[in-house]
Amino acid sequence: MSDSSVSNPSDRVKLPTNGDRGAKTRQLLGMKGAAPGETSIWKIRLQLMKPITWIPLIWGVICGAASSGEYTWSLENLLKIAVCMVLSGPFMTGYTQTVNEYYDREIDAINEPYRPIPSGAIPLSQVIAQIIVLLLGGIGLAYVLDVWAGHEFPTITCIAIGGALLAYIYSAPPLKLKQNGWLGTYALGSSYIALPWWTGHALFGDLNWTIVILTLIYSFAGLGIAVVNDFKSIEGDRQLGLKSLPVMFGVTAAAWICVLTIDLFQAAIAAYLIYIHENLYATILLLLIIPQITFQDMYFLRDPLKNDVKYQASAQPFLVLGMLVTGLALGHAGV
């Protein structure tokens, strides 16, 4: 990438200023609309890791612990789940986001030129070092959890290694899964739902094929959430030939694909809960879908480019609550 690609980013987008309310907070969390000009190397490293994206993974660990049916309230278990959250959030998600920032630096130079790498706030050598530290730290911590849980087979370590590989091929050439709208978006959705769920479940119980398949189905709802994030990058994706769903199908069609996958696959999980006679949990899950549909109509379908963040803030809490309801149902049923 030549210096000219980032030398005058204000020609392409209006940069946020340090005076914008909440700009510094958005910067630390790794959100769009951050303030440029940060000089603290540790804040820049944190921005690369996008802490705002850790939340779904941390929540997925909780859902997995619930679905195991073996979690009990004790100090040791609280410490286990806290360490597992650190694994799924700061280490593995931080690794994933830093890898993505590294390989997306040309796209970010178009869409978000104030981000750490295209703005020149951190050299590429330090970004690579951060990727290595987070990867090795995450795998090491996963092994510690396997030993702590008494696993004969290092299930959590294997999940961490598989997740790291998936994150790499999602962002990096030659495979670069994100170039394929369907495959890349599903890979992202499954990383946010299935992988932390498996980890939390394996920490307290025996991970089985029923849980694996159900969470992979649930991950299609995560595909819909992942599509929401693609709307902010349409310009850069189109210029660099990345086939995100908004680029492939247009804004309106992609918005409908997004909401239908979110709603229908949650409903499919509710149907399964009815099948295993967890009717109360199924009813709660279906009721939680209703406000999501309401916010989809109010915000997202009317203007996905303008209202993507507002929609996520309004609707996603109901989706993640539905995940916990499902985890509790599966744990209660002894699946």
Domain ranges of the chain: 40-333
Give the pLDDT confidence score for residue 66 in this predicted structure.
98
> Which of the four pLDDT bands, split at 50, 70 and 90, describes residue 12?
very low
Q: How far apart are CA 271 and CA 244, in angstroms?
A: 30
Cα distance between residue 89 and residue 220, in whole Å:
21
Through-space distance between the first and last CA atoms of the chain, rounded to whole angstroms: 51
**Confidence band for 34, pLDDT divided at 50, 70 and 90:** low
Q: Which pLDDT tens digit goes with each residue over 76-88?
A: 999 999 999 999 9
230 — pLDDT class (breaks 50, 70, 90): confident
Residues contacting 270, CB < 8 A, separation 6+: 282, 285, 286, 289
Give dist(CA 143, CA 185) in Å, integer: 29
Query: What percentage of the chain carries pLDDT values higher than 70?
Result: 89
- Could you read off the pLDDT of 150-202 as tens digits, one per residue? 999 999 999 999 999 999 999 999 999 988 878 888 998 899 999 999 999 99
**Rounded to an integer, what distance in angstroms lies between the CA atom of residue 213 and that of residue 14?**
44
Confidence band for 7, pLDDT divided at 50, 70 and 90 = very low
pTM reported for the whole predicted model: 0.87
Q: What is the mean pLDDT of the chain?
A: 89
Q: Are the C-beta atoms of 313 and 55 separated by less than 8 Å?
A: no
Distance CA 264, CA 223 (A): 12
